[in-house]
Amino acid sequence: MPSVLLVLSSHPAPGSATPGWSLPQAARVWHRLGSADCEVDFCTMAGGPSPSPGTQDNGDDGGDPARSAFVTDPDVREDLEDTPRPDQVNPDDYDALILIGGPGAAWDFPDSEELQVLCGAVYDNGGVLGAIGEGVAGLLNLREVNDGLLIEGRQIAAPSAEEERAHPTAAQPPVLISDGLRERGAVHRPAEPGREQVAVDERLVTGQNTASAVDVADAVLALLADMG
C-alpha cells in the first residue's frame, strides 16, 4: 500500500483568521488517494493542531462529496488535531509527498529549510513530489543532490500571474510564484485562469489550481503504479 504525505500551510490566510490551506484541494486529493487504497498522512508547517477549514462550512459541501467526506471523517479530524512538523517526519516512510496549496502556502513554504530537506529526501529516495496551486511555492528553492535547483528546466504547472494578482491586496504573497518560476529557469505554461492544468516531469507533478487537484492525484497514482 503506497504511503503519501500531504503537507499543509500553518500560515493564516492573509487578512483572515481562516486556515491558509485549501480545503477542496486537500479533500479531493485525500479522497482520490484513499479510493486507490493509499495510506494518507498529514504534516503542517508548525505542527500541532491544524483547524480544518471545514469547521466553517456549516454542513454545506458546495456540491463536492469529497469535501463532505473529508470534513466528517473521524480519522482526518484526529490526524489534524496533532500533526508533525516537516522535521519530525521520516521521509523513508513515504512513497510520495504532495504540497497542498492555499494562500498561506505562499508565505510559509518557500523559505522553510525543514520542508526543503523533507521534500528533497523523498525525491532522492525515488519518491514522487507533487504540488498544487500555491503549494508550488514549496518547490522554488528546492535543490537536487548536485546542488542545482530541482525546477530548473522543468515543466511546471502553477498559478498564472493573473490568478495570483486576483487576490485582495491584503492577501498578496511576498513573491509571485510565476515570477519565481521564471527567475529560476522553470518552464511555466499556465492555462487560462480557473482551468485545470497539470504537468508531469519525471517524478515531479504540479497542478495550476484547485481545478487540477484530482488530476494531480491521478498523475501521482500513475507514477506510483509504474514504479511498482
Q: Which residues contact 119 (CB under 8 A, 6 or more apart)?
A: 97, 99, 129, 138, 139, 142
Weakest mean pLDDT among 17-26, 43-52, 161-170, 216-225: 161-170
Question: Does the pLDDT value for residue 15 go beyond 90?
Answer: no
Query: Is the predicted pLDDT of residue 63 greater than 80, yes or no?
Result: no
**What is the arithmetic mean of pLDDT over 116-129?**
97
Q: Indicate the average pLDDT of the chain.
A: 90
pLDDT for 16 equals: 67
Cα pseudo-dihedral 46, 52, 55, 60, rounded to 10: 150
Q: How confident is the model at residue 114 (pLDDT cuts 50, 70, 90)?
A: very high
Alpha-helical segments (H) within the chain: 23-35, 65-72, 74-81, 105-108, 113-124, 161-165, 177-183, 213-227
Q: Which amino acid makes up residue 216?
A: V
The per-residue pLDDT for range 157-203, each reduced to its tens digit, is: 999 988 887 766 556 677 789 999 999 999 998 999 989 999 999 99
pLDDT one-digit tens code per residue, 126-169? 999 999 999 999 999 999 877 799 999 999 999 998 888 776 65
User: At which residue does the C-alpha cell 513573491 appear?
Assistant: 175
Task: Enumerate the domain spans of the chain.
Answer: 3-227
Buried b (16+ CB within 10 A) or exposed e, 159-190: bbbebbeebeeebebebbbbebbeebebebeb
C-alpha cell at 160: 498564472
For the stretch 70-103, pLDDT in tens is: 989 999 999 999 999 999 999 999 999 999 999 8
Q: Can you tell me the distance from the alpha carbon of 118 to that of 142, in angstroms, rounded to the nearest whole number?
A: 10
Closest CA to 144 of 154, 132, 157: 154
- Angstrom CA distances, 160 to 14, 15, 40, 98, 136, stand at 19, 22, 29, 20, 12
Q: Residue 46 has which C-alpha cell?
A: 508548525
Query: CA–CA separation, 78 vs 134, rounded Å?
Result: 25
CATH 3.40.50.800 for domain 3-227? no
Beta bridge partners of 187: 155
pLDDT at 61: 52
Confidence of residue 17 (pLDDT cuts 50, 70, 90): low
